[in-house]
Amino acid sequence: MKPRMCGIFGIHGHAEAANLTYLGLHALQHRGQESAGIVASDGERLYAHRAMGLVQAVFSPPDLAALPGSAAIGHVRYSTAGGSHLKNVQPLAVDYARGSIAVAHNGNLTNHTQLREQLEARGSIFQSAADTEAIVHLIAMSMQRGAAEQIADALKQVEGAYSLLFLTEREMIAVRDPMGIRPLVLGRIDQGEGVAPAWVVASEPVSFDLIGAELVRDVEPGEMIIVDESGLRSVKPFAQKERKMCLFEYVYFARPDARLEQSSVYEVRKALGRRLAEEQPIPGGTDDLVVIPVPDSGVPAAIGFAERSGAAFEMGLIRSHYVGRTFIEPQQSIRHFGVRLKLSPNRPVIAGKRVVVVDDSIVRGTTSRKIMKMVRDAGAREVHLRISSPPTQWPCFYGIDTPTRSELIAATHTVDEIGRYVTADSIGYLSLEGLIASVRSVERRATGGEGPAPTSYCHACFSGEYAIPFAPSAQGRHLRLVGG
């Protein structure tokens, strides 16, 4: 099962729980576009609605009206190879000996294969390919009494990255893995005097803004938050580990208006652009030079790059917001169709200019190559490429959807070779030290203190230093770790 990019949202103690979850999922749609689901509780039983497609397409007003109660959890999911089936759509909801439980998962379990083999040997029958199902089987087998204790018991056997939301008839339970690899935030909605606040938990606080909730704090690595009729309590059931927040959330994945670990993702991306301009200046100076982002994700870094380099920032590529993922790969004659459908050149700001294109990352290199050609065809005199992260050389096994190592262009090519492949006049990536220093500086400013240690981040996709080791069978069978 490939790792999945996902977003999760949950609310407890609000009369409009399902409607607010629907809105929360809208704000998290960038984290997964393939399927969506909500499970709600009216205190007696769970009600589920899940389907393939965007949030807007999955839920009609009658679908939402059929999700009663004051608690709900929801999930948006993106997955490629092998996982695009309705049976894998989350939240997963089951009845077991002690009642009903639903779970929404963002992340990926690294010992999933072994867990599944052990559970199957003990008689478990799996219904989906999702690693999340192993957690549900472990919960059902736990000898502990309450749901929170059963979940903690199950998760002690699990390794990997997980931000999880559980819903039972009466409780919502949120858990973040002991390294805090994937984000998870806590918020509240005040409901007036004498009424208890509603508690909300989500992958990113952008969903709180939409529903008028206030951000309280990040869920801490290794923390479990239990919300029921009597309010909220927090426990730390796992052995403490070093924090390893995913750097790629800052580089690309999270929305720029999100605040993670108290830092503004937008500010981080601008800082990456400033540092990139220092590390990788454009040969030939700034005369006639324009900095253009690959929209949308390259915009804040391009602003930072322009600010530090002294060159003009221009929107030289315009993005259509009406195109989703392109499924068609047309024949040779119209091969650039895919990117052209999404991006078009803004000729007046490009023609006759020396252009720096700023993007956040290169995966296979195909997009960059098409963009370089598009900008040159629009009349640019020179086309330089600057990337606001280090070369992506290693697949992520902790919840970001990346291809196998052999498909990552930076795993098999030098930076110069990549520059030649994409036909850039010059190419430059941000260093890993530059990336970490930039994220730290923004976090330090946000917290007004020393900030996290330089080792507090997961940068496996850039360095190959995986925060969680893999069992050999996991590498071979399901995770397809190719090469070194």
Catalytic residues: 6
Residue from 361, 389, 438, 456 binding ligand AMP (CB under 6 A): 361
**Is 443 an interacting residue with respect to ligand AMP (CB under 6 A)?**
no
**Is 11 an interacting residue with respect to ligand AMP (CB under 6 A)?**
no
**Is 104 an interacting residue with respect to ligand AMP (CB under 6 A)?**
no
**Is 59 an interacting residue with respect to ligand AMP (CB under 6 A)?**
no
Contact between 342 and 315 (Cβ < 8 Å):
no
Question: Closer to ligand AMP at the Cβ: 294 or 439?
Answer: 294
Q: Backbone phi, then psi, for 200, in 5-degree steps? A: -130, 145
Of 183-191, 197-205, 357-365, 378-386: span binding ligand AMP (CB under 6 A): 357-365
Residue from 98, 319, 347, 364 binding ligand AMP (CB under 6 A): 364
**Is 76 an interacting residue with respect to ligand AMP (CB under 6 A)?**
no
CA 234, 176, 222, 124 torsion-angle sign: positive
Q: How far is 18 from 47, CA to CA, in rounded Å?
A: 10
Q: Nearest distance from residue 293's CB to ligand AMP, in Å?
A: 10
Of 13-21, 88-96, 186-194, 353-361: span binding ligand AMP (CB under 6 A): 353-361
Of 202-210, 266-274, 354-362, 472-480: span binding ligand AMP (CB under 6 A): 354-362
Q: How far is 276 from 385, CA to CA, in rounded Å?
A: 11
- In sequence order, the 6+-apart residues with CB closer than 8 A to the CB of 177 are 107, 160, 161, 162, 163, 221, 222
Q: How far is 165 from 157, CA to CA, in rounded Å?
A: 17
397 DSSP assignment: S
Rule CB under 6 A: which of 451-480 touch ligand AMP?
none
**Is 252 an interacting residue with respect to ligand AMP (CB under 6 A)?**
yes
**Is 401 an interacting residue with respect to ligand AMP (CB under 6 A)?**
yes
Residue type, 239: A
- In sequence order, the 6+-apart residues with CB closer than 8 A to the CB of 277 are 304, 305, 306, 307, 308, 309, 386
Map residues 307-346 to x or -, x wherever contact with ligand AMP holds by CB under 6 A. Answer: ----------------------------------------
Q: What is the largest CA-CA distance in the chain?
A: 72
Size of the site for ligand AMP (CB under 6 A): 16
Q: Nearest distance from residue 361's CB to ligand AMP, in Å?
A: 4
**Is 294 an interacting residue with respect to ligand AMP (CB under 6 A)?**
yes
**Is 362 an interacting residue with respect to ligand AMP (CB under 6 A)?**
yes
Question: Closer to ligand AMP at the Cβ: 8 or 224?
Answer: 8
Question: Closer to ligand AMP at the Cβ: 252 or 313?
Answer: 252
Q: How far is 205 from 183, CA to CA, in rounded Å?
A: 10
Residue type, 234: S
- In sequence order, the 6+-apart residues with CB closer than 8 A to the CB of 399 are 3, 4, 5, 6, 106, 107, 108, 161, 181, 182, 246
For residue 163 the two structure tokens come to: 């931000």
Of 163-171, 341-349, 395-403, 412-420: span binding ligand AMP (CB under 6 A): 395-403
**Is 366 an interacting residue with respect to ligand AMP (CB under 6 A)?**
yes
Computed over its alpha carbons, how large is the radius of gyration of the chain?
A: 23
327 DSSP assignment: -
Q: How far is 450 from 340, CA to CA, in rounded Å?
A: 45
Residue from 367, 388, 393, 456 binding ligand AMP (CB under 6 A): 367
Q: Backbone phi, then psi, for 205, in 5-degree steps? A: -70, -5
**Is 175 an interacting residue with respect to ligand AMP (CB under 6 A)?**
no
Of 55-63, 132-140, 234-242, 397-405: span binding ligand AMP (CB under 6 A): 397-405
**Is 360 an interacting residue with respect to ligand AMP (CB under 6 A)?**
yes
Residue from 25, 265, 400, 427 binding ligand AMP (CB under 6 A): 400
Q: Pick from 423, 307, 289: which is nearest to 355 by CA? A: 289
Q: How far is 362 from 366, CA to CA, in rounded Å?
A: 8
Nearest-10 Cα torsion for 30, 31, 34, 40: -110
Of 10-18, 148-156, 263-271, 355-363: span binding ligand AMP (CB under 6 A): 355-363
Q: Could you list the residues that contact ligand AMP (CB under 6 A)? A: 252, 294, 297, 359-368, 400-402
